[in-house]
Amino acid sequence: MNATPSKHSFGMIGLGTMGRNLLLNLADHNFAVAGYDKDADKVALLGKEGAGKPVEGFAELAPFISSLQTPRSVMMLVPAGKIVDSVIDELRPLLSPGDIIIDGGNSHFTDTERRAKALEAEGFHFFGMGVSGGEEGARFGPSMMPGGDKQAYQVVQPMFEAIAARVDNEPCVTYIGPGAAGHFVKMVHNGIEYGLMQLIAETYAVLKTGLGLDNAAIGQVFTQWNAGRLQSFLLDITKDIFGYIAPDTDHLLLDDIKDEARSKGTGKWTSQVAMDLELPIPTIDTAVAMRDLSKYKALREQLAGLYGPAAGALPVEHGAFLAQLEQAFYFSMVITYAQGMQLLTKASKDYNYDLQLAEIAKIWRGGCIIRSGFLNEIFNAYKGTPDLGHLLLDGQVQKLVNEAAPGSRAVVAAAATAGLALPGYMASLSYFDTFRTARMPSNLIQAQRDYFGAHTYELIGKEGVFHTQWTPEHEDAANKKDVEVGQEHKTEKPVTPNK
């Protein structure tokens, strides 16, 4: 796969904000690049912003492909779903075996697996790559998560390492793993992002409704937090939002925005996959659910009229409570990351991705939306113990969680008493308390399942699977014996438990 000299070393399909800015980023690093889009205005904008740089725009696909050196490296940054398949179908007759196709959008990982197999059979190289960082990241340094065809990635690796964000002078891009590993990791990244954004929104509710702070004071809290151990990209932009005055007004634009959150589906995908893998991520699940609930604005207003306002002021001393709130946010943030990292651990085993969690945490420290100071703790935890079963097992993380947990309990208790909804905070605390419960009450659930559906159960200290006739009325004629009601007895034949 040695490149032969030609005009452009890399091509981009889709010249929206992300695609255009990534091309300009490459051009800034002296790579000759080409971009294609059906929208002539977007092509013109690329030409305007790329004036004087080694970048050329095309509004027709065939000349765009012809302008690329062989083997061609073509990246797509188009909306996930059928559009990706449509673009690939347009590319097929114009490309040659050995050419490289990269999907840089937020495609579902199962679609990436399907496309990779189909294109490999035709002689093309294909891999999916998650890209995080938004408009600014794409232009000046994103975090990138390529996975799949490793040989193909190695061809473009120098380019991606050149344009990636850097932390400690190391690029925030690394080969993630085989198959759809890159898109899977990006999906989990987005799930964590949902969780963190929900926690920040709930914190806003505490400050505004629970403590009655004005916007300036709320902005100051976020500014102070971002200067400490909670430093993160999401808090950084939040403090900026609390300083932005709506044009031609005397108030924050934030106050004019409807309280109905939208999404593009990646958070939902994270929850769906976690359920398929039977792994709990309740903070992320709650964040997805709250976005959905926010869309029922009319119904929420109707219920507020029927039941009265849910939230009241918190009868607390502000100074002490703000310290507890900082602890509570830190605690819930740690739990959110921990849920995402365990999902990656489980998927790595089940899907044979061989994910290196320390390297993933490392590239998330810069350029991406969920970058934060705490990612250094995650990196150190998995670097020290690569096979760590759960982030909460790490000694340093344990210390941090134990220190922050009292604040979480105080905030959740106060909010619940006042009727202030903090579903993300509550889900995080309940997850933690349940996970550290050595014996859960789930034995009762198993007994109930066996009672109504003969789903069987297992016993402590006994091998085998059991079923009980819990009352004389339910006792099967074939199993009528002189047994006491409720006594367990093993079936004559091996039992396969029903789910």
pLDDT greater at residue 498 or residue 271: 271
**Of 152, 179, 206, which marks where a domain is finished?**
179
Q: How far apart are CA 139 and CA 131, in angstroms?
A: 12
> Which domain-ending residue is among 179, 212, 234?
179
17 in a domain, yes or no? yes
Domain match, 216 and 284 both: yes
Taking the C-alpha atoms of residue 243 and residue 214, their distance in angstroms, rounded to an integer, is: 12
Q: Residue 491: is its pLDDT beyond 80?
A: no
Q: Is 268 in the same domain as 357? A: yes
> Mapping DSSP to helix (H, G, I), strand (E, B) and coil, where does residue 103 land?
strand
On the question of pLDDT at 190 being above 70, the answer is yes
Active site residue 90: no
Residue 489 has pLDDT above 60, yes or no: no
- For the cut 60, the answer to whether the pLDDT of residue 303 exceeds it is yes
pLDDT at residue 294 is higher than 60: yes
All residues at 6 or more sequence positions from 33 whose CB lies less than 8 Å from its CB, including other chains = 8, 9, 10, 11, 12, 23, 26, 27, 54, 55, 56
Does position 487 have pLDDT exceeding 70, yes or no? Answer: no
Q: What is the pTM of this model?
A: 0.92
- Give the model's confidence band at 277: pLDDT under 50 very low, under 70 low, under 90 confident, else very high: very high
Query: Looking at the structure, do residues 334 and 469 belong to the same domain, yes or no?
Result: no
Task: Please identify which of the residues 56, 113, 193, 326 carries the catalytic annotation.
Answer: 193
Output DSSP code: residue 180: T
Same domain? 248 vs 307: yes
Q: Are residues 192 and 326 in the same domain?
A: yes
Lowest mean pLDDT: which of 56-65, 109-118, 233-242, 256-265? 256-265
Does a structural domain hold residue 3?
no
C-alpha span between 178 and 124 (Å, rounded): 16
Share of the chain above pLDDT 70, in %: 94
Does a structural domain hold residue 131? yes
Residue 75 lies in a domain: yes
Residue 490: predicted pLDDT? 47
Q: Which residue has the higher pLDDT, 333 or 487?
A: 333
Contacts of 463 (CB under 8 A, 6+ apart): none
Residue-level pLDDT at 311: 82
261 and 136 assigned to the same domain: no
SS3 content of the chain, % helix, strand, coil (to 5): 55, 10, 35
Phi and psi angles of residue 459, each rounded to the nearest 5 degrees, phi first: -115, 150
Same domain, yes or no: 64 and 213: no
Does the pLDDT value for residue 346 go beyond 50?
yes
Q: Which of 435, 451, 472 is the last residue of a domain?
A: 435
Tell me whether residue 255 is in a domain.
Answer: yes
What is the per-residue pLDDT for 319?
Answer: 94
In whole numbers, what is the pLDDT of the chain averaged over residues?
Answer: 92
Write down the catalytic residue from 42, 53, 186, 239: 186
Instruction: Please report, for the domain that includes residue 27, its CATH number.
Output: 3.40.50.720
Domain shared by 240 and 299, yes or no: yes
pLDDT score recorded for residue 135: 87
Domain identity same for 218 and 305: yes
Known active-site residue 346: no
Q: What is the CATH number of the domain that holds 479?
A: 1.20.5.320
154 and 194 housed in the same domain: no
Please state the domain count of the chain.
3
Residue 201 sits in the same domain as residue 283: yes
Residue 272 belongs to domain with CATH number: 1.10.1040.10
User: Does the pLDDT value for residue 5 go beyond 50?
Assistant: no
Indicate whether 171 belongs to any domain: yes
Does residue 479 form part of some domain? yes
Assigned domain for 498 exists: no
Whether the per-residue pLDDT at 7 is higher than 90: the answer is no
211 and 352 share one domain: yes
Residue 478 has pLDDT above 60, yes or no: no
Q: Which domain holds residue 463?
A: 442-490
What is the number of alpha carbons within 13 Å of residue 343 lying toward its C-beta? 31
Q: What is the pLDDT of residues 375-397, one digit of tens each?
A: 999 999 999 999 999 999 999 99
Return the closest-CA partner of residue 234 out of 364, 404, 340: 364
